[in-house]
Structure 1
Amino acid sequence: MKSEKYGLLTAVHILNRIWCNDLEIALHEVNFWEDLLISLDVDIDAVTSTHDDTRKTELGRLHHFRRLVKRLLEEIQNLDKQMATRVCINHVLDTDTRLNHQYLREEMDSFQADFRIFKTEIRQYVTAQPTF
């Protein structure tokens, strides 16, 4: 394998590992926020339907991010397998693999931006709770 291809393969592999680590951290954060939302002891008399709806919405968003993280982790794993198979037949980083990696890059950029916004919003929601 040429050193250029080896360098590109290494860069792609390292980026995939970074994405996996980011996603695993995000999964831990989702679990943390879910536990925190569930553990908030809200006075039953003080609960309004708006508060309850907001809490259900936030829990729904957490479940969405959990499913998204798992899907992205699976797609990264599939891309790694695809690249390993292609290394064996000496077709490393062909057009299909490059397009898959480009798609994952766009998905990760979108996920990271959306998750950053979500964390800001859920922090504001939790700190606004009277039991916090």
Structure 2
Amino acid sequence: SFVYENGPSMKKFVEEFLAKELDNFLHRNPQTAEALKKRIEQSEKERKELSGIRKLANERAKKANLHNKKLRDCRVHLNDDVPNKNKEEFIALQNNSTIFITEGDSASGSITKARNVDTQAVFSLRGKPLNSYGLTKKVVYE
């Protein structure tokens, strides 16, 4: 098969070539075909599980109140619009904006008192965060 001047488009040619050659390869190598099939099925199963969990997470996020009493916010955020006056000073503050994440209200107490309210926010987690290293995506999302 060659590409002719008035022949099919390059995209169509590549698609047909790959489809034909992949089909031939998988028929000659049934173990590879089976492994590929299992991987596709596993990926589909994960996608279906995660879509349900994502939907639930999105619904919960919509219900969540925008005001979070556990967050002690700062005045300047990285994605804030830059005002017309004092641009350079404001940009410097934006680049130094930070959020401290603490385990519980007691841990955030002293940080809240000692922080720079212009650039440093504090957020208190409830309890210890889950160590998600090595866990499945489903467990992490839940």
| TM-score, normalised via structure 1 length | 0.32
| Structure that is richer in strand per residue | 2
| TM-score, normalised via structure 2 length | 0.30
* Structure (1 or 2) with the larger CA radius of gyration: 2
